[in-house]
Amino acid sequence: MGERVIPLIDERQAALPLPSPSGLELPPGHLRDARGRPLRDLRISVTDRCNFRCSYCMPKDVFGKHYSYLPHSALLSFEEITRVARAAVRHGVRKLRLTGGEPLLRKGIEQLIAQLAALRTPAGQPLDITLTTNGSLLARKAQALKDAGLQRVTVSLDGLDDATFRRMNDVDFPVAAVLAGIDAARAAGLRNIKVNMVVKRGANEDQILPMARHFRGSGVTLRFIEYMDVGTTNGWRMDEVLPSADVVRLLQDAFALVPLAASAPGETAMRWGYAGPDGRHDPALGEIGTISSVTQAFCGDCNRARLSMEGRLYLCLFASQGHDLRALLRSGADDETIEATLAAIWAQRNDRYSELRATLPPEAQPAHSSGRRVEMSYIGG
């Protein structure tokens, strides 16, 4: 089947106008959006390239050999990324997640991590710096990432069965190499390691129990992610979504699970602890998580913003347009102006796509009207 050409270029060009810098004299961390949500989590996509072609994110027939990636000059430099992060920290961000595409493909990413690790909150505290990777380069890079200041890592792995995994990543990449990356991350001292499995009905639900058995008691937290209608290239259909409630039921047939409290406000995952013989959570057995954007929307306390590799700030994973901070960064604007502009952008944020998806008929759904949702490979998950 030939390549599908989807005009992603247009979408990338069309940035939202920057609001005039807010006159808001806000004490650090007091910024709220139009729904009263603080800004706590900045996801930073550092490249539009990836060495996998997961069908739910970067299908090969769209992101094929003729696909035009962004030139390096279009990407934010590490200094520019750090300036945006510094401004965001001033307004309350405590967690930075590096994403992509595949972030470990960005040359010198250790230098960026070192720059971000040097940032401090207004109270002088270090930030929580993490990274989401497909694990393909982790075995080689784990120690350097840790030494640069990375504290933890999340690895995407959609199955233990090699044939299933190769089908999901569509580049014939073996499971063993990703598992070796996870081992290297642990050996390097990266803590709180998580594994994310996207569950797509008809593709890999038979991997739910093998994955749970493999990671139970390993110190690695496995999270099951509902297949999402991100972007417009993955051909998403509701009947390919396996609701998290079904996943938990399946797991409860095999293991005793107890619900756990969220570890932080705005956490996307519902946590379930493996119970010991006394029926209570046994930390040595660990936990699993479910991320249910389709069937259990969590927009109410969503405190995340996303920065694309070329400096567009998106306020929702399902947004159709972002604000162009790169132009501002390259206009010679000072840090106060960057901070004030960021505040003005966040203050007017009203996004709640997943909530609306659940309540509105398809034709009335928000991004449907604009015909485009930004691609996950462009702003990270």
Residues in contact with ligand SF4 by CB under 6 A are 293, 298-299, 302, 304, 316-318, 351-354
Reported in sequence order, the residue ranges of the chain that DSSP labels E, i.e. its strands, are: 41-45, 95-99, 128-133, 152-156, 191-199, 221-226, 257-260, 270-274, 287-291, 304-307, 312-314, 323-324
| Smaller CB separation from ligand SF4, 154 or 169 | 154
Contact criterion met (CB below 8 Å) for 84 and 325: yes
153 forms beta bridges with 131
Minimum CB distance to ligand SF4, residue 15 (Å): 19
Minimum CB distance to ligand SF4, residue 225 (Å): 12
Secondary structure letter of residue 72 according to DSSP: G
Handedness of CA 177, 181, 186, 191 (dihedral sign): negative
| Smaller CB separation from ligand SF4, 154 or 293 | 293
The residue behind tokens 């129990």 is 209
Contact criterion met (CB below 8 Å) for 40 and 94: yes
| Smaller CB separation from ligand SF4, 173 or 353 | 353
Question: What is the spatial distance between Cα 153 and Cα 194, in angstroms, rounded to a whole number?
Answer: 7
| Smaller CB separation from ligand SF4, 46 or 367 | 367
Minimum CB distance to ligand SF4, residue 322 (Å): 13
Contact criterion met (CB below 8 Å) for 140 and 106: no
Minimum CB distance to ligand SF4, residue 185 (Å): 26
Minimum CB distance to ligand SF4, residue 1 (Å): 31
| Smaller CB separation from ligand SF4, 55 or 293 | 293
Minimum CB distance to ligand SF4, residue 254 (Å): 30
| Smaller CB separation from ligand SF4, 56 or 318 | 318
Residue 101: cis peptide before it, omega within 30 degrees of 0: yes
